[in-house]
Every structure is written in C-alpha cells, then in structure tokens.
Amino acid sequence: MIVLVTGCRSGFGLLTAVEAARRGHTVYAGLRDLDTADALVETAQGLDVTPVQLDVTSARDRDTVVAAIVEAHGRLDALVNNAGVALGGAMEQLDEDELRKVFDVNVLGLWALTKAVLPTMRAQGSGTIIQVSSVSGRMAMPGLGAYAASKFALEGMSEAWRHELKPFGIRMAVVEPGPFKTDIWGRNRALSRHALDPESPYAPMVQGLEAAVARIAQDRAEDPTVVSNHIADLLERPGPLPAQQVLGRAGWLRVGMKQVLPRPVLEWLVQRAIRPKAG
C-alpha cells in the first residue's frame, strides 16, 4: 500500500508513518519543514518511510508531492490527514490572522490536499482517507474555540465527502482523539497573542484553563500509539469504515457527558473545571 501521512514531525503523524511502514507499507511522511525530519528519520530507520516537503497550505508542495508519488508508483492508496494546529484563547481575544491560520491549516489545507489525491484514487477505483479530528469536533471547550470551530468544520466536510466518494470506491473515516501525550501539550502548544493579558476580562478564565490543561497533561493524557495503531488498523481493514470513532478514555467521557447530561448540568461542570482554584 502507498500511504501519504501529513504532519509527521512528531506525535500522531510520526507514529502513524512509522507504524504503517512497520506493517510493510510504503510511506511518504509530510513535513512542513524538511529540516525538522530528525526525529522521524531516527525513529523510522530501516523502514520504507520517505520524508517529503509538505506544507498543506502550499499549493506547490501539495501538487509536487502527489505528482511525485503517482509518478513513482502509479497509484496512491491512502491519505492520512493529520497535520493541524491548535490555538488557545477566548474567541473575543483572537485577532483575525490567528483565526485564519487555524482554518488555513485544519480546514482549507486539508480540503485542498484531499482534493489533490482524489483524481488518482477515483481512476484506480479505490482509496482510503483518514481524517484526524478531535473530540473538540464534538464538544467545544472554553478557550479552545478556534480549534473546535475548525474541527467542527472538518467533521461536516468529511461527512459530506464520505457520501460523495462512496460510489467511486473511496473510503473516508474520521478519528477523534481525546487527550494523548503529544507535543500539543508542550512544544506545539500555542496561545493567542492576547491570551495571557492580565488586564483582559478573560484573565480569570485563562488562569483556570491553564491549570486544567496542566492537570489533563499530567493525569489524563494517554499513550499516543493507541491512535497510530488504530489508524494503521483502519488502513488495513477491509470493507466500509466507521464514519467517526472517538479514541481514548477521556475522549469517550466528554462525548458521553454531552450525550446524556442535561445542558445546564454540562455547562456547570465545564465552568467548574476551569474555575481558578482558591489560594
């Protein structure tokens, strides 16, 4: 199987590329900057993994990578759309360029790359596309509105695409991880430029949110190989794929709470979780 995975500098992308290659597949691992390939190259040593320059917001990168893969193999069997960015901060605090960047990567870049691979998949009469979303695509939390909005958009786009692509033998599935131990909690954690403004009316909320994030990263974030193994399983699974799958205990808890709890109770619990602790 010829597989293209995006966002492979670290986390789910790196682990998925390596796991797919371990299973005998030929993997092209997209990186926004090839100079950041060290961890990927070291982890994938001896495996059929080729790092490629792929900023999903760049039309040139997208077209070049897809054309090179098709020229080399005559096909492209699977795309894992993992590249994404997160952004913390109250919605009112965001500047327009910050919100646009989140949507450029998480929605428009993903849409454009998927569009680029579809002619090849349609011509070969088969293909698998895995969209890496988040439980934030099911339930938006305060302070993560930009990220959640992009993932809600991804979920809607993927649902429509699933219907549209089925007649051509192209499968699409969405995976929705909860908190896992990836760089999103550390190096890749991004806050809006005004998020930590002590004079902001949202300062108390941000204080509580920062504490909640620290607790989640310490106590609830799970082993990310759960996600990469699951994605690799989906690539190899015969027949139709599930439309959406929540991954992780904390993710299932959030989705379950939204499904069963009355809205006032759910909102009370969310407010309690981000309330600054006394002292």
28 among known catalytic residues: no
What are the tokens at 37? 């390939």
User: 150: closest CA among 195, 79, 197, 98?
Assistant: 98
The SS3 of residue 137 is helix
Catalytic residue among 28, 147, 161, 202: 147
Q: What are phi and psi of 274, to 5 degrees?
A: -105, 5
Give buried/exposed letters for 200-235 (b at 16+ CB in 10 A, else e). bebeebbbbbbebbeeebeebbbebbbbbebbbebb
Please give the angle made by the CA atoms of 168, 169 and 171, to the nearest 5 degrees. 115
What whole-number distance in Å separates Cα of residue 171 and Cα of residue 114? Answer: 12
Alpha helices, DSSP H only, in 86-238?
Answer: 96-103, 110-124, 145-165, 203-219, 225-236
Active-site amino acid positions: 147
